[in-house]
Every structure is written in structure tokens, then in C-alpha cells.
Amino acid sequence: MATSSSRPVQGKIQYGAPNHERRIWLFMRLTGLVMFITVVFHLLYMHMVVGVENITFDNIDSRWSGPAGVFWRLFDASLLFIGMAHGMNGVRFSINDYVHNKILNFLLTAAVYGLGLFLILLGTIAIVLGVGGLGNLFQRLMG
């Protein structure tokens, strides 16, 4: 009974109960779809419309200022969080494919996630405080 119901039927996909890796599979597709719009826009806008040589300190400052600045900061935060989550998962897939030693696999994965979370923190600080914001904060604290 159990064997006949779990036997794959040709041409039909058998769906079992959702598990953790299936949710991650869906997560990678959904974040990929979102980033197909946001990241490709960000890439082409910054490289073809603004131009990398024009992304100066003042340029970032003006984009992050005013009412539109709130939108751009949220947009950039979405790139940071979604991009890093998708990327860290992709690196985890690669580690799982090549590193079969369980201890080494765990250490590498922990290092990638540790570094990723640290960089998300740095990026969030930059977006919240704005360009020059951390330097100004330090100057105020030093008196």
C-alpha cells in the first residue's frame, strides 16, 4: 500500500509534505523573481544611467536625502537583505556539493553565515545612518 502510493508515476510530479529544503527551493525562486526586477534595474540604472564614475559621496547623499530618499533607502535595504539571503544560500548549496566532511562543512557554512550576517549589519548601519553618518556620530560622541 505504502510503496504503491509513493511510487512515482511517469509524467506526474509527486508532491509530499512541505519540508525545510522545499521551502528554501521556493525561497530561492521567489527572491530570484523579485531580484530579476530590482537587481537588474539597480545594475543598469547605476552603470548606464548614473555611471559608476559619478557615484560619488555627494551622489549617494543626494539620492538618500529628502522624501524620495526614504524610498531609495528602503529599496537599497531590500537589495541588501534579499541579495545576501539568496547569496548565502547559494554558497551553502555549493559547500554542500563539494565539502562532504561534516565538521569542515559545518565550519565553512558557519563562517559564510557569520560573515554574511556581519556584512548585513554593516550595510544596515550605512543605510540607516546615511553617508558620513557614522563619522558624524563618532565626532559627536568624542565631543
* For another protein, the closer CB: 2 or 141: 141
Site for another protein in 107-126 (CB under 8 A): 115, 119-120, 122-123, 125-126
The CB-of-1 to another protein minimum distance in angstroms stands at 28
d(CA 91, CA 110): 11
Exposure string over 56-86, b if 16+ CB within 10 A, otherwise e: eeeebeebbeeeeeeebbeebeebbebbeeb
Does position 69 interact with another protein (CB under 8 A)? The reply is no
User: Chain-centre distance of CA 57, in angstroms?
Assistant: 24
* For another protein, the closer CB: 68 or 94: 94
d(CA 98, CA 118): 25
- Name the phi and psi angles at 28, rounded to 5: -65, -40
Does position 83 interact with another protein (CB under 8 A)? The reply is yes
Do 125 and 134 touch, CB atoms closer than 8 A?
A: yes
* For another protein, the closer CB: 55 or 74: 55
d(CA 89, CA 28): 8
Does position 51 interact with another protein (CB under 8 A)? The reply is yes
Stretch in the footprint of another protein (CB under 8 A) among 2-10, 16-24, 38-46, 67-75: 38-46
Sites of contact with another protein (CB under 8 A):
13, 29, 32-33, 35-36, 39-40, 43-44, 47-48, 51-53, 55-58, 60, 80, 83-84, 87-88, 90-91, 94, 97-100, 115, 119-120, 122-123, 125-127, 129-135
